[in-house]
Amino acid sequence: MQCLSGLASPGRRFGLLRQPTGSSPLMKKHLLSLPLLAALATACNSNTQKTSADKPDLLQAALDTTVAAGDDFFTYANGSWLKSHPIPASESSWGIGKEVQNEIYARLRQTSEEAAAAKATPGSNQQKIGDFWAVGIDSVKADQLGAAPIQPELARIAGMQSVAEVPGVVARLIPLGVDALIGPGIYQDAKNSERMALYLYQSGLGLPNRDFYFNTDERTKNIRREYLRHLAATFRLLGQDEATAQANAQRVMSLETALARSSRKLEALRDPYANYHKKSIAELNQLTPGLDWKPWLTQLELGKVDTVIVGQPEFYQTVGKLLKTAPLADWKAYLSWQLAHTFAPTLSAGFDQEHFRFYSTVLRGAKSQRPRWKRVLDMEESALGDALGQLFVKEYFKPETKARYEKLVKDVSASFAEHIQKLDWMSEPTKKVALVKLQKITPKVGYPSKWRDYSSLTIDRSSLAANVMRANEWKYRYALNKLGKPVDRTEWDMTPQTYNAYYNPSNNEIVLPAAAFAIPGLLDADADDALVYGYAGASTIGHELTHGFDDEGSQFDAQGNLKEWWSKDDRARFKKRVDAIVRQFDAYTVLDSLHINGKATAGENIADLGGIVIAFDAFKKTKQYQEGKKIGGLTPTQRYFLGYALGWQNHQRDESLASRILTDVHSPAQFRVNGPMADVPAFYEAFAVKPGQKLYRADSARVTIW
């Protein structure tokens, strides 16, 4: 039940992120962040799963009744579970998504070990999985190789004789998965969804985003100090003496700060019109005087492109200026750092541990590193996700499970249509168009109808870094191959084993991977409708449907084009409601003086609230709701809301929380439960919420949108 972030990148995937996920589909590496597979109900072996008759009710067992539901519903619903499931030292957070991952990690490990031991046919998926695993798990070999796997690229950088050579080296590094200076990506044109286009987005920072370079609170200032230490330590690992390493660390910090100064803030990236600037190559050259883009694009294998969509023109103006003013020594330091940073987790222990120290301990608070085998499986998922997916769904996602959730999609969609028809703030003409858009949303449930073909990808046992590089190059060219061809609307941007989901406005589709419906330790057959409608219907399906009509998704029409289809008055009335939810979430203090960014998180908060009210009305039509029988001492309505809260059963370390407040368009888990519940009348009735309780909001203060 999670969803890929509603980040306003060219990919425009909106969703309900429960754990950090990977980045854009073209050429970004997913080395450390993709969630892994979760076994679904009917797929689990009965000899390893207890039925509901053998153990306490899942929802009842998680309750912390020392907390009043009307004061803190998140803790009331999940408190006992959170107390009995502390965050492991190797993690920056822990929750239901990590439990799902753990269930499948063991299966993936067995699959990979069997593939490594098999005499697989060369070039087969089994051979690729086996070789990736075998060399990845071999830490002794990684230590013996040291930085050797990236040495040819380091030599290329060191061999530059002038700044004029920088674009060529950048063009070499980007296909390898290195975020070097610029951010090219191939996506559907936001204003013409039938066409694939080249986007240029802001990129190239080693810290999570621009705010980390400029915020003046003590926490962020300390991160900058630690970042300089990390930069210098990485340069020492590359063989530089202390003085050179310190000087190069300052060079990188200076260059990245200049890039950050021209980078947009998180909330500013959510405006699709403000981040869409179509330019010819000649106009692109005018944007960056003295920089000729034609040869650079040719080096990137994009020489036939005649137009580019620039997301943030001011960023590329800065890129152009830096390529004229920054000295060669700065560029050598910056590109060497970006290369080493990208592949550090695949190299020897020194690189790997230093990368972990800064990015996992300093930024996210993890106390010890996750086992190598899990980290290798994450990389394997990124490189060969569809190959693993084919094996997964064949064994673990049965037809009857798929049918249940396809029906749930239909039920929630029908409820959404009823909500639109009953709106008192939307005019009839706009309602008609809204209903057309809803009806045209394509649901993709479980797994794709066709799989990616990895036959041209070489995987061997030379080194883990080499396999990751080749996989990134394969993904780069896979994306390049889309230019000039019809848009493939059957494609998935997530694997079936990903505990996540998303709405893609360019395709007007919701994508619901098989793993998104998994509940750890519970057979699907044993999950009552109340739980499922809350856990899957509200927090995933209803959430994703609502993204098509949130403050950002609503700017795309039924064909997936960025085009206004609302009347001015309807848009104004809608904006008043959006402003109300922005104010509500702005007021929430998360940590120290850190508040939720209401503008940046607006789309997700709208989708959370919409998903809850829409799926609840769908649930009211079920036999369970109408019979009203209690399970585990809980009414059907109570179980519905608790099922929703179950989907956000998660806690995280302060360091991780502080980082995500600055970088994530999703509110923290506690507020994804307490925030929308405070606006839902049925929740008040189900749990007897009264004035004076912390979640209570007067009728006039409650936000109502869908």
Q: What integer is the mean pLDDT of 249-268?
A: 98
User: Could you state, in order of their start, the residue ranges of all structural domains in the chain?
Assistant: 166-342, 405-450+490-701
Q: Which of 197-206, 257-266, 269-278, 392-401 has the lowest mean pLDDT?
A: 392-401
pLDDT at 180 over 80: yes
Q: Give pLDDT, residue 15.
A: 61
Q: In the structure, what pLDDT confidence band is assigned to residue 305 with cuts at 50, 70 and 90?
A: very high
Contact 166, 178 (CB under 8 A): no
Q: Helices (DSSP H) in 238-327: which residue ranges? A: 242-261, 281-287, 293-299, 313-325
Q: Say which DSSP state 634 is in.
A: B
Residues written for the chain: 706
* pLDDT tens-digit map of 420-458: 999 999 999 999 999 999 999 999 999 999 999 999 999
* pLDDT tens-digit map of 236-245: 999 999 999 9
Q: Give pLDDT, residue 89.
A: 96
* pLDDT tens-digit map of 98-146: 998 888 888 889 999 999 999 999 999 999 999 999 999 999 999 999 9
* pLDDT tens-digit map of 624-661: 999 999 999 999 999 999 999 999 999 999 999 999 99
**Helices and strands (H, E) in the chain, number of each type:** 28, 11
Q: Give pLDDT, residue 13.
A: 58
SS (H, E, C) 373-415: HHHHHHHHHHHHHHHHHHHHHHHHCCHHHHHHHHHHHHHHHHH
Q: Say which DSSP state 667 is in.
A: -
Scan for tokens 């899942």, then name that residue. Answer: 58
Q: Give pLDDT, residue 592.
A: 85
Q: What is the mean pLDDT of the chain?
A: 92
Q: Give, for 483, the enclosing helix (H) or strand (E).
A: none
Hey, what are 111's tokens?
């699959």
Q: Give pLDDT, residue 394.
A: 79
What torsion do the CA atoms of 386, 390, 396, 400 make, to the nearest 10 degrees?
110
* pLDDT tens-digit map of 362-397: 999 999 999 999 999 999 999 999 999 988 887 778
Q: Give pLDDT, residue 395.
A: 75
Q: What integer is the mean pLDDT of 270-280?
A: 97
Q: Specify the CATH number of the domain 166-342.
A: 1.10.1380.10
Q: At 592, is the secondary structure helix, strand, or coil?
A: coil
* Residue (of 616, 413, 609, 623) closest to 534 by Cα position: 616
Q: Give pLDDT, residue 54.
A: 56
Angle between helical axes of 166-173 and 328-343 (0-180°, round to 10): 10
Q: In the structure, what pLDDT confidence band is assigned to residue 3 with cuts at 50, 70 and 90?
A: very low
pLDDT at 52 over 80: no
| Distance separating alpha carbons of residues 193 and 204, to the nearest angstrom | 27
* Residue (of 586, 585, 626) closest to 608 by Cα position: 585
Q: How do strand 509-513 and strand 502-504 relate by DSSP bridges?
A: antiparallel
* pLDDT tens-digit map of 191-213: 999 999 999 999 999 999 999 99
Scan for tokens 């493939």, then name that residue. Answer: 488
- pTM, rounded to two decimals: 0.91
How far is the first Cα of the chain from the last one, in angstroms, to the nearest whole number?
20
Q: Give pLDDT, residue 77.
A: 98
Contact 184, 26 (CB under 8 A): yes
Q: Give pLDDT, residue 14.
A: 62
What architecture does CATH give domain 405-450+490-701?
3-Layer(aba) Sandwich (3.40)
* pLDDT tens-digit map of 69-85: 999 999 999 999 999 99
Contact 185, 10 (CB under 8 A): yes
Q: In the structure, what pLDDT confidence band is assigned to residue 17 with cuts at 50, 70 and 90?
A: low
Q: Give pLDDT, residue 8.
A: 36
Q: What integer is the mean pLDDT of 544-571?
A: 97
Contact 620, 682 (CB under 8 A): no
